[in-house]
Amino acid sequence: MRRSIIIFGNGLGMSLDSNYFPISAGLASVWSGSEYFKAEHKDLIKTAIPGLTEDTYPSTEEQLDDLQVAIVASEYLRGFETDKVKWLTDQVRELPEAFRRFIHEVAAYYQGYDAPLPLDFRSSLANYLRSTKSHVATLNYDNLLYDGLKGYEIFEGYNGVLIDGFHRNGFDPDNLNRIRGPRSLGWYLHLHGSPLFVGNQKLMGGDRAVFTPDEKSHIVLTHVTHKPLVIESSSVLSEYWKRLNEAIQEVEYIVIFGYSGTDSHLNELLSQKCTNKQLYIIEWSGTGDLDTRCQFWQRILRMQELKLIHMTNILCFTAWCKL
């Protein structure tokens, strides 16, 4: 069987539970119900987002754009401060920490879903990965794939199939090196991070209480224009995107699974790297008619040759070895 890289988008979770996995659901849950997200933090965030009222809250990544600008501005001005001169009030100085707490809690919300992926989907994917040592990249914060592939000898360190760069002493780019050669292991790349990544460690079990806002998190939850900046500022995520380039060069074809096509930084990379690769896109048929969607993908990826597979439920797909 041929080797590939499979890039999973939010359609994976949406196909499982379309009420739980929209970004608006995570934002709403944290805003109204998190025990870690304080009322004063909500007030800070609301002041940085135009149009919010007493009874409303941010519900889209686009609304986080102005908030991200406010955070960058406050951190920039804070750099001019001295013991004698304060440019910012104490409340404004708390804005970056409040935002870090907010996005961490939103990402952690998706870790809380406990229903598994369908058995046929999990087993067919695991069999394919074991046979081909293909790479997996995910844009999601949930643990659906990680938990779903447990028990299939996929995540067994260097004795398994996929490695993510975390080892006993935390993350190190050298942990992604494959001593026995490039075909000995595949990479498991969280392209937009995970709430389990804090500092240089991976919090197994997802204990949110361990996280404090002054620690370095690795989560890309912001307006699409700011995502490359967040990625570049993270030692973990920037390494994952570097390895994504290498993975694409190694494989014979690329599978895009349940991805809406809205992340321009990923689209740009794919349009540059896919010119000599076979490309398969598997998506929900409710996104639009086949011809329209085919034209959409051809336009954003600047490719004429691609195979688009429409399904009423993408979790029914099991024919990995036939692509």
Q: How many CA atoms lie within 13 A of 244 on its CB side?
A: 27
pLDDT averaged per 10 residues in sequence order, the chain, 323 residues? 95 97 93 78 82 85 79 81 86 80 87 93 97 97 92 93 92 94 94 88 65 71 83 92 96 96 94 90 96 96 93 97 89
Do residue 62 and residue 140 come from a single domain? no
Q: For residues 308 and 192, give the distance between their C-alpha atoms in angstroms, rounded to a whole number.
A: 24
Do residue 166 and residue 248 come from a single domain? yes
Range of the domain at 60: 23-112
Do residue 284 and residue 244 come from a single domain? yes
Angle subtended by helix axes 23-33 and 95-109, to nearest 10: 120
Do residue 34 and residue 170 come from a single domain? no
Domain count of the fold of the chain: 2
SS3 8: strand
Global pTM exceeds 0.85: yes
Residue at which a domain ends, from 92, 112, 132? 112
Q: How many residues does the chain have?
A: 323
Do residue 29 and residue 174 come from a single domain? no
Phi and psi dihedrals of 102, rounded to 5? -65, -50
- The residue assigned the tokens 């739980």 is 20
Residue at which a domain ends, from 88, 112, 136? 112
Count of C-beta atoms within a 10 Å radius of residue 43: 11
Greatest Cα-to-Cα distance within the chain, rounded to the nearest angstrom: 68
Do residue 8 and residue 157 come from a single domain? yes
CATH number at residue 231: 3.40.50
171-179 — which CB contacts under 8 Å span 24+ positions? 171/197, 171/200, 171/201, 171/202, 171/235, 171/236, 173/239, 176/239, 176/243
Do residue 177 and residue 276 come from a single domain? yes
Do residue 317 and residue 172 come from a single domain? yes
Residue at which a domain ends, from 47, 81, 112? 112
Do residue 27 and residue 93 come from a single domain? yes
